[in-house]
Chain A
Amino acid sequence: MTFTSPSLDYIALMPMIIVFAGAIIGVIVEAFVRGSMRRFVQSLLTPATLLIALFQVIANRDVVTPTAAVNSVIIDGPAHLAQGVILILSLIGLLFILDVDSFAPQAAALPGSEEEKRAIAVGRQQTEVFPLLLFSVAGMMLFTASSDLITLFVALEVLSLPLYLMAGLSRKRRLFSQESALKYFLLGAYSSAFFIFGAAFVYGFAGSVNFSAIREAVVGGYANDVILLIGIVFISVGLLFKVGAVPFHAWTPDVYQGAPTPITGFMAAVTKVAAFVAMLRIFYTVFDGNVWQWQPILTGVAIITMIVGSVVAIAQRDVKRMLAYSSIAHAGFLLTGVIAFNKSGLESTLFYLFVYGVATLGAFGIITLIQDSQGEVTDLNRWAGLGKRSPVIASLFTLFLLSFAGIPLTSGFIGKFSIFSAAYEGGVTSVVIVGVLTSAIAAFFYIRVVVLMFFQDPSDSTVSVTLPTLRSSIGVWSAAIVTVALGVLPTSTLSFITDLAIFAR
């Protein structure tokens, strides 16, 4: 056996390298920069890292190499698109993370302890969130570009571990936040175990963890199909957990509610991109030989996800929980794009991920602004009459809700149209019909929030809208502009996606 030294295509890997490097520098900053200066340094370093990486992705857009890092990383159009979307969404999300004091003064201190009081007294705020965010982003970028199961697993852990931590960093209601982080961590660990278990089965089937080798084995079909199927199912469990599809959704409402709101927005928007693109890559380029096996399973999951997400959302009285269930329903809609199993499915899923992510960030960004003396107000009853007090904020929130509901002239409508037509084209009419019917159910709870905000009188005067700072304003308004622009004139974005969305093998 000869040993060849690994060849790395540094240009193709550059965006990920930049983000990893930024994250590591961020850790060094935490260690060596004075406490009072850390926040300032991080608030420059983090967006700069993301921006440079984004420019590098744009510069790299024509690079296609299936062997960017030996056989472990594949750089192609969908990877560029996904990485670009992840970076753009992270930048918008970062605006909210930078903005309000959502994070615990000292995460290691017990809630209510003397240590914590001291930390509050000196005005500290945990700034580790920034390098954590960068690590998570880097992991997500790698997740969309992995081309073997081990790299995929490593990327999954790199993106997940910072998320578990960040979920527990809330400044207000700290116990609640820590509880949600623990839940997320335990269930996430289980799902990772499932994933690696499935990877082992697939390895047993194909004799390799490399995507193209697995694909050959699947197409050749010379091994035991049952083992392959078990492998596919367990790998799917790991991925479906990350997107919050039913029946692996149980963590979503608790974690969304407990995590600091800017982090919730980040999780809802960006994690979905990474997980879905990885899912698309696996199902479209690795297991495409036995589509007849996984398609019915995913169809079942998609249908039940859409139904549970939209029906249970009706009963929610907390805006973050409601959006959590709405995100579950959207995971179901996004799954229809995977099930479609055609090029339109890939294109429409990418488009949907982007527009859903933008609207989600905008919506969670607005939630950070609705406050009383105790902090954010997420009880929907107390949102009553918001339209009277701050019509602009309420109108923007309505816009995002209308986009979630898929009303024409918002980006959500174009997304829904394209993803459902891809599924119809792929011959899975059942998901289209269920999708359309659940959209009607979902419309109900979105409209109910609109009614609350605009048609009901304020129930208590303690709730107020904090004036958005410049950063939050930029975040919310850019999300709103993208939502309208891609609803009215989506052409250039769509054709951009169409040109790039071709998986290399």
Chain B
Amino acid sequence: MSMITVLGLLPLVGVLALTFLKRDNVLAAKQVALATSVLVALAGIFMAVQFESDRPGFQFTESREWIPAFGINYSVGVDGISLLLILLAVILVPIVILAGWDESEGGRWSAKTFYILILVLETMMIGVFAATDVFLFYVFFEAMLIPVYFLIGGYGTGERIAAAVKFLLYSLFGGLLMLASIIGLYVLSGDQIGRTFDITKLSQLQMSSTTENLLFLGFFIAFAIKAPLWPVHTWLPDAARSATPGTSVLLLGVLDKVGTFGMIRYCLEIFPNASKTFTPLIITLAVISIIYGAFLAIGQKEILRLIAFTSISHFGFIVMGIFAMTSQGHSGANLYMINHGFSTAALFLISGWMIKRRGSGTIADFGGLQRVTPVLAWSFFIAGLSGLALPGLSSFVSEFLVLVGTYTRYPVAAVIGTLGIILAALYILIPVQRALHGPTTPGNENLPDMNLREKIAIAPVMVAIIALGFYPKPALDVINPVAKATITKAGFTDPAPTIKEGGER
């Protein structure tokens, strides 16, 4: 049994333990969930340490027959990118549990159910990144929706049910389009190389350009909904506002990365020509997302919606980096996925604490927090600065790489995208100014500052933000070989500065 399988099964052990707990034993449920997730995180780190970044291909692989009649295997394995995303997931889960210690209470169902859902979700997050069989990936991709749906609908606030349904229907719609494409791949593979869903074998399929384009679109639309790209993003702000901050962290920080991850792993590898064909369109959508997300973020009155829109802008950067088809752009996009995970986690968790203390999510209700709750305010500030990609904080490196990588091939897109950075300063600094500075708004005088539990929860995130900002090398070492390999496999070479762009066409 591969280590990934063990890692994926560990949270389920916690689920098993939770099912034996009494419904009203809330504290025990929390402890079991936290202990399990910390254990998973340690196991994940242990796995990451053993990973050899210079070895090509998948590592920790395991393959067993699952449904041989359809050529479906249980195949898992990680490359540098999926390893980092799994690591991100297993690190964020205990943080989310600790940070949102009370999120599980006051929901529609017991705390026990909340943690069962979280841990099941963790298993699925590990599975979705580790799967090297397209069918297995799809199973995790779809099944993942169910726990999130219940987490939003059962434990969120406000219009949580509508938000949960909207999230689910959007995702199901995309998923079903992807299913149509998967069926197409399956039939093609049956004609050419024998029924299989193995990702490396599928990338050798021969397709007519119409078929390839259509199948590509099935995958891409599903991923674009997931990673939300303009114009299929509208479910995200609602979901982010209604979900608990912890759920939002997992949703935006990890789950939505499945979209961008899928673009790299599936769209580029299986459909290199179609990716080439659609690149101009996708780059355009990405640029629109960057600018649109940023503008709407500036206009938001609620913190959580604001963070959601900044994420749409950031996902625009990631997608632009992916489809720039340069190794720098790719490295940047991959690193961005990790960085965005941490900085969004920080923003959501801290805003969640602010909202809980104040009882309101409207930015105007805050003010002068810096004096009342200095630690909280400063943490928010740092997280915000990371969100606007200040040099020295993690997002800067990735955003820079994306822009440089894009510029060599699509200078116009890169230039417009750069405007996003300026807008980012606005959308972060305006709420920082309104919420943290200025006179203390009446009613805020007695807000308590962060307690020890919250400090412990946020510390690893802050460390990651700063460490990855100053010293991104370990992450990049893991990412770069994969990024190069993906670009080469998709049939691209980094443009040398002297050669005219797109000469082959």
Residue of A nearest to B65 (CB): A491
Inter-chain contact B176/A409, CB cutoff 8 Å: no
Inter-chain contact B161/A436, CB cutoff 8 Å: no
Rounded to whole Å, the gap between the CB of A188 and the closest CB of chain B is: 35
> In the complex, A418 Cα to B183 Cα: how many Å?
9
Residue of B nearest to A418 (CB): B70
Q: Does B184 contact A (CB under 8 A)?
A: yes
Tell me which residues across on chain A come within 8 A of B179, comparing CB atoms.
Answer: 416-417, 420, 436
Inter-chain contact B142/A455, CB cutoff 8 Å: no
Inter-chain contact B184/A424, CB cutoff 8 Å: yes
A408-B138, A451-B161, A454-B153 given; A424·B187 CB < 8 A:
yes
> In the complex, A409 Cα to B138 Cα: how many Å?
11
Tell me which residues across on chain B come within 8 A of A491, comparing CB atoms.
Answer: 65-69
Inter-chain contact B176/A454, CB cutoff 8 Å: no
Inter-chain contact B69/A447, CB cutoff 8 Å: no
Scan B156-191; emit 1 where CB is below 8 A from any A CB, else 0: 000001001100110011001101100110110010
Inter-chain contact B180/A443, CB cutoff 8 Å: no
Q: Does B207 contact A (CB under 8 A)?
A: no
Residue of B nearest to A426 (CB): B187
Inter-chain contact A409/B139, CB cutoff 8 Å: yes
Tell me which residues across on chain A come within 8 A of B66, comparing CB atoms.
Answer: 491
> In the complex, A163 Cα to B67 Cα: how many Å?
38
Q: Chain A binding site: helix, strand, loop or mixed by DSSP?
A: helix
Q: Does B201 contact A (CB under 8 A)?
A: no
A454-B154, A455-B108, A455-B153 given; A433·B176 CB < 8 A:
no
Tell me which residues across on chain A come within 8 A of B13, comparing CB atoms.
Answer: none
Inter-chain contact A443/B172, CB cutoff 8 Å: yes
Rounded to whole Å, the gap between the CB of A381 and the closest CB of chain B is: 15
Inter-chain contact B143/A409, CB cutoff 8 Å: yes
Residue of A nearest to B141 (CB): A408
> In the complex, A425 Cα to B195 Cα: how many Å?
12
Tell me which residues across on chain A come within 8 A of B419, comparing CB atoms.
Answer: none
Residue of A nearest to B182 (CB): A417
Inter-chain contact B187/A425, CB cutoff 8 Å: yes
A417-B183, A440-B176 given; A408·B139 CB < 8 A:
yes
Scan B122-154; emit 1 where CB is below 8 A from any A CB, else 0: 000000000000000011001100100010011
Inter-chain contact B154/A424, CB cutoff 8 Å: no
Q: Does A67 contact B (CB under 8 A)?
A: no
> In the complex, A115 Cα to B70 Cα: how many Å?
60
Q: Count the B residues whose beta carbon is within 8 Å of the partner chain — how many?
A: 31
Q: Count the A residues whose beta carbon is within 8 Å of the partner chain — how many?
A: 35
Rounded to whole Å, the gap between the CB of A68 and the closest CB of chain B is: 29
Q: Which of B207-229 contact A (CB under 8 A)?
A: none
Residue of B nearest to A443 (CB): B172
Interface centre among B146, B173, B179, by most chain A C-beta atoms within 10 angstroms, is B179
Q: Which of A427-449 contact B (CB under 8 A)?
A: 432-433, 436-437, 439-440, 443-444, 447-448
Residue of A nearest to B211 (CB): A429
Tell me which residues across on chain A come within 8 A of B108, comparing CB atoms.
Answer: 454-455
Q: Does A490 contact B (CB under 8 A)?
A: yes
- For A432, give its contact among B143, B150, B180 (CB under 8 Å): B180
> In the complex, A280 Cα to B162 Cα: how many Å?
43
> In the complex, A454 Cα to B117 Cα: how many Å?
15
Q: Which of A288-310 contact B (CB under 8 A)?
A: none
Scan B57-79; emit 1 where CB is below 8 A from any A CB, else 0: 00000000111111000000000
Q: Does A36 contact B (CB under 8 A)?
A: no
Residue of A nearest to B169 (CB): A444
> In the complex, A443 Cα to B176 Cα: how many Å?
10
Rounded to whole Å, the gap between the CB of A203 and the closest CB of chain B is: 39
Rounded to whole Å, the gap between the CB of B108 and the closest CB of chain A is: 7
> In the complex, A409 Cα to B169 Cα: how many Å?
18
Inter-chain contact B180/A433, CB cutoff 8 Å: yes
Residue of B nearest to A408 (CB): B139
- For B183, give its contact among A408, A414, A432, A498 (CB under 8 Å): A432
Rounded to whole Å, the gap between the CB of B171 and the closest CB of chain A is: 10
A409-B139, A409-B143, A424-B184 given; A440·B173 CB < 8 A:
yes
Scan B339-356; emit 1 where CB is below 8 A from any A CB, else 0: 000000000000000000
Q: Does A495 contact B (CB under 8 A)?
A: yes
Scan B93-119; emit 1 where CB is below 8 A from any A CB, else 0: 000000000000000100000000000
Inter-chain contact A407/B142, CB cutoff 8 Å: yes
Inter-chain contact A451/B165, CB cutoff 8 Å: yes
Q: Does A494 contact B (CB under 8 A)?
A: yes
Tell me which residues across on chain A come within 8 A of B187, comparing CB atoms.
Answer: 421, 424-425
> In the complex, A418 Cα to B139 Cα: how many Å?
14
Rounded to whole Å, the gap between the CB of A128 and the closest CB of chain B is: 43
Inter-chain contact B169/A494, CB cutoff 8 Å: no
> In the complex, A425 Cα to B70 Cα: how many Å?
13
Residue of B nearest to A391 (CB): B109
Residue of A nearest to B162 (CB): A451
A417-B183, A455-B153, A455-B161 given; A443·B169 CB < 8 A:
yes
Inter-chain contact B168/A447, CB cutoff 8 Å: yes
Residue of B nearest to A455 (CB): B161
Rounded to whole Å, the gap between the CB of A177 and the closest CB of chain B is: 35
Inter-chain contact B161/A407, CB cutoff 8 Å: no
Tell me which residues across on chain B come within 8 A of A454, comparing CB atoms.
Answer: 108, 150, 153-154
Rounded to whole Å, the gap between the CB of B411 and the closest CB of chain A is: 38
> In the complex, A21 Cα to B108 Cα: how many Å?
55
Rounded to whole Å, the gap between the CB of A262 and the closest CB of chain B is: 30
> In the complex, A409 Cα to B135 Cα: how many Å?
11
Tell me which residues across on chain A come within 8 A of B177, comparing CB atoms.
Answer: 436
Given A408-B143, A432-B183, A491-B66, 20 other A-B contacts at CB below 8 A? A402-B146, A406-B176, A407-B146, A409-B143, A416-B179, A420-B183, A421-B70, A421-B186, A424-B186, A425-B190, A432-B180, A436-B177, A440-B173, A447-B168, A447-B169, A456-B161, A489-B67, A490-B67, A491-B69, A494-B70
CB<8 Å pairs between A and B, sample of 12? A407-B146, A413-B142, A425-B187, A432-B180, A436-B179, A440-B173, A454-B150, A490-B67, A490-B69, A491-B65, A494-B67, A495-B68
B residues with CB within 8 A of A:
65-70, 108, 138-139, 142-143, 146, 150, 153-154, 161, 164-165, 168-169, 172-173, 176-177, 179-180, 183-184, 186-187, 190
A residues with CB within 8 A of B:
402, 405-409, 413-414, 416-418, 420-421, 424-425, 432-433, 436-437, 439-440, 443-444, 447-448, 451, 454-456, 489-491, 494-495, 498
The 6 closest A-B pairs by CB, nearest first: A408-B139, A494-B69, A436-B180, A440-B173, A421-B183, A408-B142
